[in-house]
Amino acid sequence: MKYVIKNVNLYQGKIDSHIIEHSNVYFENDIIVRIDTGETIEDGYEVIDGTDKYLLPGLINLHAHLFGSGKPSKILGSQSKLQQFVIKAAATNNGVKILDKLMQKNMRDALYSGVTTVRGVGDFFYRDVILRDKIKKGEAYGPDLIVSGPAITVPGGHGDQTFAMSASAKDELEHCVELNHQHDVDLIKICITGGVMDAKVKGEPGEVKMSLEQARWICDAAHAKGYMVASHSESEKGVEIAVDAKVDTIEHGAMFSDEIARKCKQQNTAFICTLSPALPLAKFSPKQTKLSDLCAYNAKIVVENMIDGIRKALSCYIPVGLGTDASCPYVMQYNMWREVCYFAKYLNVSNSFALYTATLQNAIILKMEDKIGSIEVGKHADMFMIANDPLKDLRALSKVEMVIAKGRIYRDCHIKKDIKLEKELDTLI
């Protein structure tokens, strides 16, 4: 298992990276062992010709749910009888088998789209943990998974009765952390505010559902066990509670004060930008999205809040990472590249900074930058190859020719995409 990718245009993923032409990248098993330029190739390596191609570090998706394909569906809307029926059916033996198959397919699609690490932040019945281990053992294709199991929410909060378990009292919330710990999760996910998909009234996505006290109980219990905590927070108050409870990553985000900015820097809190779900819901008509007017209204608020918050975080040099919130309507598992495009366009950052954010910056937020996030000697061989220069046009990321994940090579990365949905989404880039 000794390979060299020869004569390739290399983008390493560091903040000041540019394209290095005529690069040769050597890897043995799952580790990159040497990088040089020129025509001479060391003996003993199987050669992969990279002439005229571009080699990049695998993308990291910091916010996904593994269960859904991302195709718009009424089931995903506000808690309906149909939704509860589907969740009940999924809990049966046969249901779990179907769910496992769907999740496997979803993660294979993610892998084939150049994503080599996914952080799952809320899934059903710990099937995310099971799939993580299957992929680790080589029993399924997929990115490296870092998973939370079910999120923790409060009664009536975001995710209650779907991808989260709910509780109110201190001992109950601590028990939720303990339960996830017993199931061998990698992080703890909490929901401080409401969400777009399950909101019942205008403005609810930003409404605080979990108190500071409750968030603190969970964070303290989680941190004591060595877990990072990610918090769904879609309003200024929701961000404030998250920061005061000392969560590690604020998912989605909103505007915040200078005082909160100071605390973020002190505690090393990061913001995770997820424009992929809210943008289409805000910009497409409810007829097109099959969701309610209420959903569209709330999505507009969330998008504006998120852009304000992420812009402020960037201006204060608070770490900002990227995730898609895959499984939400219009957020297909293979479209992490779109989040990179949205980030460049709507936050007005350079293509190179957007790409750095989706790779090395995301790895830094995971505290895994010694292993992943860039193409450097000693790091994991997690890379993908494309035909065109992504620094000139980020849409080049969508045409994947080869993926290498932990040194394993995937040459046929065909994904069956929904062409109609892809065309609709192209209008947002």
Cα–chain-centroid distance for residue 262? 26
* CB nearer to Zn ion: pick between 109 and 325: 325
The answer to whether the CB of 193 falls within 8 A of the CB of 239 is no
* CB nearer to Zn ion: pick between 73 and 388: 73
CA distance 187 to 225: 10
CA angle (303 as vertex; 328, 323 as ends), nearest 5: 50
DSSP label at 58?
P
The answer to whether the CB of 40 falls within 8 A of the CB of 420 is no
CA distance 146 to 127: 12
Closest separation in Å from C-beta 67 to Zn ion: 11
- Mode of pairing for the β-strands spanning 2-10 and 54-57: parallel
Of 104-112, 173-181, 263-271, 323-331, the window that binds Zn ion (rule: CB under 5 A) is 323-331
Closest separation in Å from C-beta 378 to Zn ion: 33
Closest separation in Å from C-beta 252 to Zn ion: 8
CA distance 427 to 429: 6
Closest separation in Å from C-beta 195 to Zn ion: 8
* CB nearer to Zn ion: pick between 57 and 159: 159
* CB nearer to Zn ion: pick between 24 and 162: 162
Of 3-11, 13-21, 324-332, 391-399, the window that binds Zn ion (rule: CB under 5 A) is 324-332
Between the alpha carbon of residue 150 and those of residues 30, 33, 65, the distances in Å are 31, 38, 10
CA distance 312 to 364: 20
Tokens of 302: 């969330």
Of 40-48, 182-190, 293-301, 317-325, the window that binds Zn ion (rule: CB under 5 A) is 317-325
* CB nearer to Zn ion: pick between 234 and 325: 325
DSSP label at 104?
H
Of 14-22, 86-94, 325-333, 387-395, the window that binds Zn ion (rule: CB under 5 A) is 325-333
Closest separation in Å from C-beta 62 to Zn ion: 10
Closest separation in Å from C-beta 78 to Zn ion: 16
**Residue in the block written with tokens 């199987």:** 46
Closest separation in Å from C-beta 63 to Zn ion: 6
Closest separation in Å from C-beta 122 to Zn ion: 6
Return the residues of window 239-298 that contact Zn ion according to CB under 5 A: none
Please select the residue that binds Zn ion; options are 325, 344, 352, 358, rule is CB under 5 A.
325
DSSP label at 208?
B
Of 102-110, 129-137, 292-300, 319-327, the window that binds Zn ion (rule: CB under 5 A) is 319-327
* CB nearer to Zn ion: pick between 358 and 386: 358
Q: Where are the alpha helices (DSSP H) in 73-226?
A: 81-90, 93-112, 127-136, 170-182, 212-224
Return the residues of window 47-76 that contact Zn ion according to CB under 5 A: none
Return the residues of window 122-161 that contact Zn ion according to CB under 5 A: none
Mention every residue, 6+ apart, whose C-beta is less than 8 A from residue 423. none
Of 52-60, 197-205, 289-297, 320-328, the window that binds Zn ion (rule: CB under 5 A) is 320-328
**Residue in the block written with tokens 């880039």:** 429
DSSP label at 244?
H
**Residue in the block written with tokens 């195709």:** 71
Residue showing the smallest CB distance to Zn ion in the complex: 325
* CB nearer to Zn ion: pick between 121 and 355: 121
* CB nearer to Zn ion: pick between 63 and 380: 63
Closest separation in Å from C-beta 86 to Zn ion: 18
Tokens of 299: 């999505």
The answer to whether the CB of 391 falls within 8 A of the CB of 11 is yes
* CB nearer to Zn ion: pick between 8 and 210: 210
* CB nearer to Zn ion: pick between 234 and 382: 234
Count of residues in contact with Zn ion, rule CB under 5 A: 1
Return the residues of window 183-242 that contact Zn ion according to CB under 5 A: none
Exposure of 18 by Cβ count < 10 A (0-12 exposed, 13-18 middle, 19+ buried)? exposed
Residues lying near Zn ion in the complex (CB under 5 A) are found at: 325
